[in-house]
Structure 1
Amino acid sequence: MKNTAIQCDVKSCEYNCQDCNYCSLESIKVGTHEAHPTQCACTDCKSFKLKENCCK
């Protein structure tokens, strides 16, 4: 079921609702791979899970 509070267009994620670009999780964890992020590209969805058989 889609969570309209979390928009997502990452089709390779297990939790993406393919037909409507929303996440199916109740909540997500957002993190960073930088000590002091200064750009959007420095942040990551830590709830991401690669969809099985997605990228083979």
Structure 2
Amino acid sequence: MNNGKNSSIGCIVNECRFHAKDTNYCTLDKIEVTKHEAMAKDVQCTDCGSFKKE
């Protein structure tokens, strides 16, 4: 895990362990985007699979 913000990954989920806290970015080098439908049809079918509760 990178301890600084990743300027390539914006994030507003400050409840996540990997949120940059002082700014709306992720601190991970890479995230995993997942889907919870067989075929993703819209944004509601996708999630950040890298989320970890603070």
Q: Same fold (TM over 0.5)?
A: yes
2:32 corresponds in structure 1 to: 29
1:15 corresponds in structure 2 to: 18
Describe the SS at the equivalent of 1:41.
Answer: helix
Cα RMSD after superposing both structures: 0.5
Number of equivalences: 51
1:45 corresponds in structure 2 to: 48
**TM-score, length-scaled by structure 1:** 0.87
CA distance in 2, matches of 1:17, 1:47: 14
- Gaps of at least 5 residues in structure 1 are 52-56
Q: Percent identity?
A: 45
CA distance in 1, matches of 2:44, 2:11: 15
**TM-score, length-scaled by structure 2:** 0.90
